Amino acid sequence: MDLVTIGESMLRFMPPVGSTLEAADRFLVVLAGAESNVAIGVQRLGMAAGWVSKLPQNALGRKALNAVRAHGVDVSRVVLAPRGRMGLYFTELPGPPRPVGVVYDRHDSCFSTLEPAEVDWDYVRRASILHLTGITPALGAGCRRVVHRALEVAKGAGLLTTFDVNFRSRLWTAGEAGEVLGRLLPGVDVLIAAAEDVQAVFGLDGAPAEVAAALQSEFKNRVVVLTLGDKGALGREGTEVVHEPAVPGVAVDPIGRGDAFVAGFIFGYIAAGLKRGLAYGSAMASLKQTYVGDVAWCTAEDVGRVAGGDVNALRR
């Protein structure tokens, strides 16, 4: 396994274009989940990914499982619980000036009851990379323990650890996030965060290069990557700093863009270092927005056409 990740996936419901959650009598249903998005993303680029999660053993749980498995991601360690509910959420994605409409309904989900004892840690140890996000520790005490344990296991087994801060203000306050993440991030190898999340959670403001340096100094990460929205992304590895502009495009569905960036970054970084990582991350993020749903359906060839370079050669 090249990459293992642990996290919740949900079902996301959407009305037809131009309609609303209130008005529509039909909803599109798509898979949603930062970690499964990353697993699917790197798998489609040619890596072997495993996704560890917990789902209810009913039609909705199988729906989510199938949606991840269809791309080839290994789901053999997903816990299927005899009871519990899927996390759900409902979005409408209009053009301006209408605000994005969201109704969250993920409380008390099956995944939020996950405990370290339910995870096959040997499976995790056999991977090369462990990817985690700041969403999981916000879901409950058991989930927090899982993240702690996962980082320990990864360090013990010599995995590269990647961590996407992904601050969710609906799940916890910036203060809580700062406290918990402040204990988790030290020693993470690759720290990825939106600049605005860094400001909210850690109070770090200013020029991106300085923020990256401050984070790196604080948490001792090998690499820090800041995503800057339509200003692209900036990475710092050791003392090297690289800025990559955003790839312009037409956004049909922006949700999952950040996860697509992470998948592209990990793939490119592993294969060819920081600069290629940022370039592939930016390409993936822009490509993702052309797809309805969270998943970036693009292939390595598509990324190569956008970012340049022979992606297949890297895959080897």
The single residue listed with the structure tokens 């650890």 is 161
Q: Is 216 helix (H, G, I), strand (E, B) or coil?
A: helix
By CB under 8 A, which span of 129-137, 184-192, 196-204, 279-287 interacts with its own copies?
Answer: 279-287
Closer to its own copies at the Cβ: 13 or 121?
13
Q: Is 259 in the active site?
A: yes
- The residue within the footprint of its own copies, chosen from 157, 231, 297, 309 (CB under 8 A), is 297
Residue 280 CA, distance from chain mean position = 15
Which one, of 197, 232, 244, 235, lies nearest residue 216 by Cα? 235
Q: How far apart are CA 38 and CA 261, in angstroms?
A: 9
Give how far Cα 99 sits from Cα of 21, 91, 197, Å: 13, 11, 20
Binding mask 73-92 for its own copies (x = CB under 8 A): --x---------xx-x-x-x
CA atoms within 13 A on the CB side of 208: 22
DSSP 116: G
Identify residues 26-45 at the interface with its own copies (CB under 8 A): 26-30
- The residue within the footprint of its own copies, chosen from 42, 279, 302, 314 (CB under 8 A), is 302
CA atoms within 13 A on the CB side of 299: 3
By CB under 8 A, tell whether 19 contacts its own copies: yes
Closer to its own copies at the Cβ: 110 or 190?
110
Residues of this chain that interact with its own copies (CB under 8 A) are 13, 16-30, 58-60, 62-63, 66-67, 69-72, 75, 85-86, 88, 90, 92, 94-99, 101, 103, 105, 107-108, 247-250, 252-253, 283, 286-287, 290-293, 295, 297-298, 302, 305-306
Active site residues: 259
